[in-house]
Structure 1
Amino acid sequence: MYKEECRFKVHKKSVAKFKNKIRELTKRNNGWSNQLRIKKFNEAMRGWINYFKMADMKNLMIETDKWARRKIRAVYWKQWKRIKTRYKMISKYGIPKWEVHQMACCRKGIWRASLMLNSVLTVKEIANLGYISLAGYFMNVCVN
């Protein structure tokens, strides 16, 4: 009960299945084109959110959205395999030259490098690529 109202909550197993679905859609080695990945990701996320739209899951969607965006950044970092490609792609976003060089020459793992890409592939840029924001879409369709 919350403020004398009955609230629905998504079960932990459903959340785990949802995260596994995101993992499957953002695999870096499945050979999908970016357009196909965007299409499948958006379809799956819209379907899951519409199914659970009666539930009280705003915070869950915010946290999952952050995690999913980082997974998307990791996909793009993996696609930019060579330093030359990374340098070219990162410099498109108007980052200072020394910072572009520092990012492009990073020898850290993909997951750690995806955290550095926050300044390049921002929330707005990821939305421009075609991915939906989970929290934003949930707030549009939620019933509560």
Structure 2
Amino acid sequence: MAWESVRANGGSSLDEWLRSRIRMVTWKRWKRIRTRFENLKKAGVSEEQAWMWANTRKGYWRTAHSPILTKALSNERFKRAGYLSFSECYSAK
């Protein structure tokens, strides 16, 4: 059933979900406010925005979809880290 949706849209929706999940798990791993703040600053987020988002009370999944975390953990960063997308693998066949 899941592979039918991959075939239908080339895996893009599955890619989106997986990237969101990776962002969520990464945010969850940065447990402490200080760790979140420092990692967001390292990723190029301004100090003010990093402090605001490091102290957020929003849930993990909602924060994974935030513009700040999407910028900090971008798709290009995932490619550099070696994550392959399903759509690229599917189109390579």
TM-score normalised over the length of structure 1: 0.57
The CA deviation at 1:100 is: 0.9
Cα RMSD of the aligned pairs, angstroms, is 1.9
The CA deviation at 1:130 is: 2.2
Q: Is the 8 A contact 2:10 2:90 kept in 1?
A: no
Q: 2:28 aligned with 1:78, yes or no?
A: yes
Among the aligned pairs, what percent are the same residue? 31
Q: Which amino acid aligns with 1:128?
A: R
SS in 2 for 1:72: helix
Q: Highest CA radius of gyration, 1 or 2?
A: 1
Q: 2:88 aligned with 1:136, yes or no?
A: yes
List per-residue Cα deviations over 1:22-43 (Å, max 9, x = no partner).
xxxxxxxxxxxxxxxxxxxxxx
- Segments of 4+ in structure 1 off by > 4 A? none
Q: Which amino acid aligns with 1:119?
A: K
1 or 2, which has the higher helix percentage? 2
Counterpart pick for 2:48 among 64, 79, 98:
98
Q: Is the 8 A contact 2:37 2:54 kept in 1?
A: yes
Q: Which amino acid aligns with 1:104?
A: A
Aligned positions, number: 90
Q: Which runs of 5+ in 2 are unaligned?
A: none
- Structure having greater relative contact order (Cα 8 Å, sep ≥ 6): 2
Q: Which runs of 5+ in 1 are unaligned?
A: 1-11, 19-51
List per-residue Cα deviations over 1:75-128 (Å, max 9, x = no partner).
100100000000111111111111111211111111011112111101111122
